[in-house]
Structure 1
Amino acid sequence: MTQEDDRYRAPALDKGLDILELLAQIDGGLTQAEIAKRLGRSPNEFYRMLDRLVRRGYVSRIDGDRYSLTLKLFGLAQSHAPVRRLVSFATPLMRELAEETRQANQLAVFDRGSVVVVAQQEAPGYWGISIRVGSHISLYDTGSGHVLLAFRSEEERQMMINEHSRSNEQPALSKEFFDRLNQIRERGYEMMPSAQTAGVYNLSAPVLAPDGRAIAALTVPYITLVNSSEAPDITQTLDMLSNTARQLSKLAGTERKDD
C-alpha cells in the first residue's frame, strides 16, 4: 500500500468489509473467535462491529454464537443496476415468449424479504393473466416463489423465509413443502394450479446466476384458450418457457446444468 493510499484509510469500514467478505465465503457461519482468527485479529476487535452489522440486518446470529451473512446485500444489489440490466435482457425474450405461447409472462426476483415482479409481458390476444410490475407476491404458494426457493441452498432458503416472515405471516411449512422444492430443483421447473385464480396454472422456470442460484423466476400464468387452435398446449408452453429461461441464464453468464 502506498503512502497516498494509506492516507485515505478508514479502519472501521475496512473491518466491517473484511467481515462481510469473509462470511460471504462460509456456509454455516462463524463464531466471533473464528472470524478473528481467520482475519488475524483479536476477538475483542470485532465485538462492536458485529453488533452493528447484526442490528443493521447484514449479519444474523445463528445457533446462539455463530454469525452468518443475511440476504440484505443481495437485496440491495437487486434494487440497483443488476435488475435493470436483467430486465433489459429479458424484455425482448419475454415478448417473443408471449408471441409464441399466446400467453402472458412475468419476471420476479426476491428483494429484501419479498417476491417482486420486475417485468411483465401481456398476452398478444384478447385473453391473458398479467400482474403489475412492482407487485409483491407470495413466497410460499406461487410458482415464482417456489422456484426462487428451490434453487438455493438449505441455509439460504431459511434466510429467505426468515426475511419474508418479518413482514408477512408465516404459515406452518411442512416437510412436504421442502420435499417439493427439492423436486422442483431436480426437474428444473414448477407447474402448479394457481392458489389465487381458478383455471390458471403457474409454469415457472429459474434464471440462474453463474453459481447456479436462481436470481429470478420466469413465469407463465397459463390459461387454456378454447377458441384458438393455434395456441400451444401446456406441455409445449412449458418447453418454450424453459428454453427462454435458459437463454436468459446464458445472458446472465451461465448455462442451465442440463444443457
Structure 2
Amino acid sequence: METDDAAPRRRGRRPAQGEPVVDRALALLAAFDEGRRRLTLGELSRRSGIPASSTLRLANRLLRWGALERGEDGRFCIGLRLLEVASLAPRGHGLRQVALPYMTDLAAVTREHVLLGVRDGLQATLVERLSGHAATPVQYRIGGHLPLHSTGIGWVLLAFAPAEAQEELLATPVRREPDSVVLDPAALRRTLAAVRRERLAIFRRHEAEPLVSVAAPIYGRHDEVVAALSVLLPERTAQPRRLGLAVQTAAQGISRELRAQ
C-alpha cells in the first residue's frame, strides 16, 4: 500500500517504515472534534502526529476529494463530501428516515429532547436529536457518543447487547457520568435485567438541573434491537411511566416499519 515516504518497496509488502496513506488520512480527519472544528495546518499536524509536509500533502488530497474544506483564513474543516457518504449508512440515515415522523410527534407533544441512538461497541452514537425551543440545554449532538452505563439510550442498548459486550464493560470499574460515582456491577446487572423485562429504561441524571431519560428499544427485521429511542426532560416535570407508554408506542411504530423494509 502506498505511503508518503519514499521508502524502498518490495512487491506485495508494505514499506519497512511509515503508516499507510489511508491510516494517515484517517488520523487527519480524527484530529477534528466538537471543540476543534477548524484547524490550521500546524494544529492539524500536531493533533494527528504527522509531519507538516506530509500533512499538507494529505490535506490537499482530501481537499480535492471533498473530505476537507479550507476557509479564507487558511484553516481546514470537515468537508460536505463526508456528510454525503455518511448519509448512506443504514444504521444512521436509513434508520433516521424511518424514525423522524415518530420523533417529530414525540417532540411536538413533550417539547423536550427526543433522541435516537445506536450501539457502537461499548458506547452509543446519537444519529438524530430533536429539541423543543424551551428544552433544558444539553451537550448531546448528532454523531456524538453517549456512555452505555449513564444514559437511558445506553441502558437499553447495553441491556440487549450480547453478553460478551456487557461483561467487557463491567469487567473494569464503571463510573457514572458526570459525577464519577463508581457503579456496583451487580446493581447494574439487575437494572439491565429489568430493562429487558419491561422493555423500558428510566434513567435519572443527577446534576444542578436533574434530568430524566425515558428510553425504549427499536427492533429490526430479525427481532434484534438495532436502536433506542428516548425523551430527555427535567425531573421536576417528568411523569416517567406515563411518558414511557408514549415512547414505547413510538418505538414500536418504528420497529414495524423497519421490519416491513
Instruction: Please give the TM-score of this superposition, normalised by the length of structure 1.
Output: 0.56
Distance 1:132 1:196, change over 3 A: farther
Higher relative contact order (CA 8 A, sep 6+): 1
Q: Decide whether the 8 Å contact of 2:113 with 2:232 is kept in 1.
A: yes
| Number of equivalences | 169
- Match of residue 14 from structure 1: none
Aligned partners of 1:136, 1:86: CA distance in 2, in Å?
17
Aligned partners of 1:79, 1:160: CA distance in 2, in Å?
30
Shift of 1:252: 1.5
Q: What CA RMSD, in Å, does the superposition of the two structures yield over aligned residues?
A: 3.4
SS of the residue 1:148 aligns to: helix
Distance 1:80 1:196, change over 3 A: farther
Q: Decide whether the 8 Å contact of 1:189 with 1:203 is kept in 2.
A: yes
Aligned partners of 2:193, 2:166: CA distance in 1, in Å?
11
Q: Decide whether the 8 Å contact of 1:104 with 1:129 is kept in 2.
A: no
Q: Decide whether the 8 Å contact of 1:98 with 1:104 is kept in 2.
A: yes
1:115 aligns with 2:121: no
- Match of residue 177 from structure 2: none
1:177-230 CA-partner distances (Å, limit 9, x unpaired): 11210111001111121156632111111111233332111111122576xxxx
5+ residue gaps, structure 1, are 1-76, 227-231, 255-259
Q: Decide whether the 8 Å contact of 1:143 with 1:192 is kept in 2.
A: yes
After the TM superposition, which residues 75-154 of structure 1 pair with which residues of structure 2 at under 5 Å, given as runs? 80-123=89-132, 125-130=133-138, 131-154=140-163
1:183 aligns with 2:194: yes
Q: Decide whether the 8 Å contact of 2:205 with 2:212 is kept in 1.
A: yes
Q: Decide whether the 8 Å contact of 2:122 with 2:148 is kept in 1.
A: no
SS of the residue 2:226 aligns to: strand
1:235 aligns with 2:244: no
**Which amino acid is the alignment partner of residue 109 of structure 2?**
E
After the TM superposition, which residues 31-46 of structure 1 pair with which residues of structure 2 at under 5 Å, given as runs? none
Aligned partners of 2:155, 2:208: CA distance in 1, in Å?
17
Aligned partners of 1:179, 1:212: CA distance in 2, in Å?
23
Shift of 1:135: 1.4
SS of the residue 1:222 aligns to: strand
Q: Decide whether the 8 Å contact of 1:110 with 1:148 is kept in 2.
A: yes
Runs of 4+ in 1 over 6 A off after TM superposition: none
**Which amino acid is the alignment partner of residue 126 of structure 2?**
V
- Match of residue 253 from structure 1: 259
Shift of 1:153: 3.7
Identity of aligned residues (%): 22
- Match of residue 21 from structure 1: none
Q: Decide whether the 8 Å contact of 2:170 with 2:185 is kept in 1.
A: no
Aligned partners of 1:129, 1:147: CA distance in 2, in Å?
23
Aligned partners of 1:79, 1:196: CA distance in 2, in Å?
37
